[in-house]
């Protein structure tokens, strides 16, 4: 009888030890998971290819803690909506965020590269963002045809020097800048527009202005 009690006592003691070890292992695993989640949330160093360049088209605070690089196409309908989001949020959060626009003209859109050229030529006169806005706002109009005539009208509305505009449109450097943007996107694996990178990480496109704002705020917290 005593042997039976001792055996059962030893079995229970062993069972308790095993349970305690399992609890400790679960606790350690949870700690590791929490540490991994915390590590993922840390802002990693932005890779060189996504660092703002001197010739990038950008608005906001150059010293902001949040940098958004967007690859976009002027004739893409979805890009038009995100352009309006950026315009709104750059006004609202411009002190905390730097917005960078990079060209990613898709071959499927016939006038997108021409639009990029006119935006860049306007940029040579300090009016990139004004031309950018006009092109996107009126996208449905010029996408039907006669795009260059429409872009010239935009240039006149912005009171650009038309002689300089015509000269700038022929500059090799202008097309090289557009192609450089495009190539950097290809190197990053961009295959659709718009594509967003925040602090060096590609993010899923938010589906509303509020979701976009919340996403940016998650990087500010």
Mean pLDDT of 114-123: 98
Does 31 fall in a domain? no
Is 122 inside any structural domain? yes
Query: CATH number of the domain that 161 lies in?
Result: 3.40.30.10
187-214 average pLDDT score: 97
Residue 70: give the domain boundaries.
Answer: 58-220
Question: Cα 88 to chain center, whole Å?
Answer: 15
Q: Are 158 and 130 in contact (CB under 8 A)?
A: yes
- Please give the distance of CA 171 from its chain centroid, rounded to a whole number: 28
Examine residue 26 and state whether it is found in any structural domain, yes or no: no
Pairing state of beta strands 201-203 and 195-198?
antiparallel
Report pLDDT digits (tens) over 138-191: 999 999 999 999 999 999 999 999 999 999 999 999 999 999 999 999 999 999
Span 36-52, average pLDDT:
65
Structure tokens given for 132:
């950018």
What pLDDT does 19 receive? 41
Residue 44: per-residue pLDDT: 57
Average pLDDT over residues 41-59: 84
The rounded distance, in Å, linking the Cα atoms of 185 and 193 is: 10
CB half-sphere exposure, 213, CA atoms < 13 A: 13
User: What is the arithmetic mean of pLDDT over 44-70?
Assistant: 93
Q: CB–CB of 67/35 below 8 Å? A: no
3-state secondary structure of 61: coil
- Average pLDDT of the chain is 86
Count how many domains the chain has.
1
Residue 51 lies inside a defined structural domain of this protein: no
Structural domain contains residue 48: no
User: What is the reported pTM?
Assistant: 0.80
pLDDT of residue 13: 46
Distance of CA 216 to the CA centre of its chain: 10
Is 155 part of a structural domain of the chain? yes
- State residue 45's pLDDT score: 80
Is 73 contained in some domain?
yes
Cβ atoms of 125 and 160 closer than 8 Å: yes
Does the residue 134 lie in any domain? Answer: yes
Quickly list H helices, the chain: 2-41, 77-93, 112-123, 128-137, 139-142, 147-157, 162-168, 172-187, 209-220
> What is the model's pLDDT at position 221?
78
Average pLDDT rounded to a whole number, residues 99-106: 98
């Amino acid at each position: 009888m005593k042997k039976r009690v001792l055996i059962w006592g030893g079995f229970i003691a062993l069972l308790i030890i095993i349970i305690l070890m399992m609890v400790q292992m679960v606790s350690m695993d949870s700690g590791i998971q929490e540490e991994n989640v915390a590590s993922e949330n840390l802002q990693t160093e932005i890779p060189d290819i996504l660092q703002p360049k001197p010739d990038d088209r950008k608005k906001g605070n150059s010293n902001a803690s949040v940098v958004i690089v967007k690859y976009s196409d002027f004739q893409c309908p979805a890009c038009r909506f995100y352009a309006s989001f950026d315009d709104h949020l750059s006004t609202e959060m411009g002190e905390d965020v730097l917005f960078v626009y990079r060209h990613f003209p898709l071959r499927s859109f016939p006038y997108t590269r021409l639009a990029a050229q006119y935006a860049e030529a306007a940029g040579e006169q300090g009016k990139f963002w004004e031309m950018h806005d006009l092109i996107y706002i009126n996208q449905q109009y010029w996408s039907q045809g006669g795009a260059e005539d429409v872009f010239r009208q935009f240039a006149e509305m912005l009171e650009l020097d038309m002689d300089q505009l015509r000269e700038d449109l022929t500059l090799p450097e202008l097309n090289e800048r557009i192609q450089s943007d495009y190539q950097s996107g290809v190197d990053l694996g961009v295959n659709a527009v718009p594509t967003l990178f925040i602090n060096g990480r590609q993010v899923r496109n938010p589906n509303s202005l509020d979701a976009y704002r919340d996403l940016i705020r998650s990087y500010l917290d």
